[in-house]
Structure 1
Amino acid sequence: MTRSFRFGVVLISEGCSRAEWVAKSRRAEDLGYDVIAAPDHLNLTSPFPSVVLTAENTTRPRVGTYVLNAAFHNHTLLARDLATLDQFTDGRLEIGLGTGYVEWEFTAVGVPFGAPGTRVERLVSAVTEIERTFDDPASPKTVQRPRPPLLLAGHGDRVLRLAARHAEVVGLTGAKFDPAHGRMTIATAAQMDERVAYVRACAGDRAGEVELNLLSKATLLTTDRGSAIERLRRFGPDLPEDELLGAPTVLAGTPADIAAKLHEIRDRYGISHTTVMENSMENFGKVIEAVR
């Protein structure tokens, strides 16, 4: 069965007033986004009131987190906060969780950054405790039953395996840290084939139930895709031009070109849910119009 497209946007609140956040949320709804999410970083406003404010000022989109840093929160209290969020957003909540990746933020809050495996263990603990708390009759109840949809996002084996077995939505970040360049670099189309196959193998009987989400890194509107190469080069410094333009996580061309690529991505990988960052919100809004 081919899933319908869903599109999400992550709003950024740095230096943002209440009025500005409300305006951005309403604009995202007007552009046709299905999910409006808040991130979890120390230089931004708290994701919890941000999500409630979005819900209070929109009607159609679902609202959520993309994504909460599992290391920043007591997991039992986090489950309580999420249940409250689902209540106060009238059952529109989607929960995004991740391991966290910004080392200075861990230092600032007094949490050891640790090795990747340690951060994954914290994520496992968060998922386990959230599931346990939501099942506990004495805990606050969610509107959505048995719980709001859970999105777990990552690229490595352990996070994707956890997501495939526990989440309703598997978030494919489509990028990994490249020590040679000191930053994240994107996965090629072929590498994404392997990641999706891994998720499906781990999901087993759940494979047909899991929604696949992709975090897009850039949306560049142009009638000359070749002209976008230099602006996209930082995402894949060593990739040949055809592989860079063909990577699922970068989108360049006219709205119709990109709409066609989204159809190709869905046909090839089964990825039907695309999330963009706020800096691509307006451009990708034109793509949403072309798709629909």
Structure 2
Amino acid sequence: MTRFGVVLISERSSRDEWLARCRRAEALGYDVIAVPDHLNLLSPFPTAVLAAEATERATIGTYVLNASFHRPALLARDVTTTMGLIGERLELGLGTGYVEAEFAAAGLPFDPATRVDRLTELVGELDTLLDHKGPPLLIGGHGDRVLGLAARRAEIVSFTGAPYRAEYGRTALVAAGALLRRVQHVRAVAGERGLRPELNVLSKATVLTGDRRAGVRSLRCYAPDLTTEELLEVPTLFVGRPAQIAEQVRQNEERFGFSYITVMDSAMEDFGKVIEHLR
């Protein structure tokens, strides 16, 4: 059965506001409520605990913790504490981080190789510190090394479909064919060890419209070098009527194997209408 997650983003929020948003996400049918890890946003673990308090059945995830921000022993303490407070509902998402300004603010180098090394080391040390009894691990990214690590060590591999592009100074979406090759890479690496991780995709935007071509043109900022036809095909953007997007989700699962869809906060209400067609 396909799972649906939403990343709740907030720079500031009262307790009551946060609890209400989490309850709304669960009411809309989301299976996973995830919290991000950026310096300008609310801290992930306190908000994760409150999300669990507000809801009854939803898995509570981190999407995704920046490995460079967390020392293994301290993160192991946070994970153990959170599991003790919310039980087995925690899903631990890790990544390399991608916002260069945040690395500068934290006094950390932004070198790509160093970031992947830190993620690799964190995954190994965390597994030992948690005595192989940690929560389900999600690793998200796009490059060979990150996705290879995810294929070998994670229960869930998350595809961002958006590598960092120096010419734009940010990440940008790749075409469907390029993302399919990323999926094939993960399957090949995982297959060498007889593993079948769950495949997740992070959607950047959902646009409800009767005119798909016009709707997708409004999203060109996410992929400046893709054509309209390519934008319509990428599994990281959802455009159309709710029933059309539901069919897109089904087709993406068949073609790419994506059985776990995560959307951003801004799409929570609109994609909730899509979930109605998929239950």
User: The TM-score by the shorter chain falls in which range?
Assistant: over 0.9
Partner of 2:154: 167
Cα distance in 1 between the residues matched to 2:252 and 2:193: 21
| TM-score normalised by length of structure 1 | 0.93
- C-alpha deviation, 1:206, in angstroms: 5.1
Equivalent of 1:47 in 44, 47, 50: 44
Contact 2:22 2:54 in 1 (8 A): yes
Correspondences of 1:245-260 after superposition (within 5 Å): 245-260=232-247
Contact (CA 8 Å) 2:65, 2:94: kept in 1 or not? yes
User: Which among 93, 97, 115 is matched to residue 96 of structure 1?
Assistant: 93
Q: Which one is further off, 57-66 or 221-230?
A: 221-230
Aligned AA (1:97): L
The yes-or-no answer on 1:195 pairing with 2:164 is: no
Q: Aligned pair count? A: 279
TM-score normalised to the size of structure 2?
Answer: 0.97
* Contact 2:59–2:91 (8 Å) recurs in 1: yes
- The CA distance in 2 between the partners of 1:178 and 1:49, in whole Å, is 32
What stretches of structure 1 of length at least 5 have no aligned partner? 136-144
Are the equivalent residues in 2 in contact too, given 1:40–1:65 (CA < 8 A)? yes
Q: Match of 1:215? A: 202
SS at match of 2:219: helix
Q: CA RMSD in A?
A: 1.3
**Matched letter for residue 36 of structure 1:** I
CA distance in 1, matches of 2:101, 2:173: 23
DSSP-derived class of the 1:48 partner: helix
**Matched AA of 1:282:** E
Structure 2 counterpart of 1:131: 127
Which residue is 1:24 aligned to?
Answer: 21
Query: What is the correspondence of 1:232-271 to structure 2 with a 5 Å cutoff?
Result: 232-271=219-258
Of all paired residues, the percent bearing the same amino acid is 56
**Alpha-carbon distance in structure 2 between the residues aligned to 1:205 and 1:238:** 35
Q: Deviation of residue 208 (structure 1)?
A: 5.3
Residue 38 of structure 1 corresponds to which residue in structure 2? 35
For structure 2, the residue ranges without an aligned partner over 5 or more in a row are none
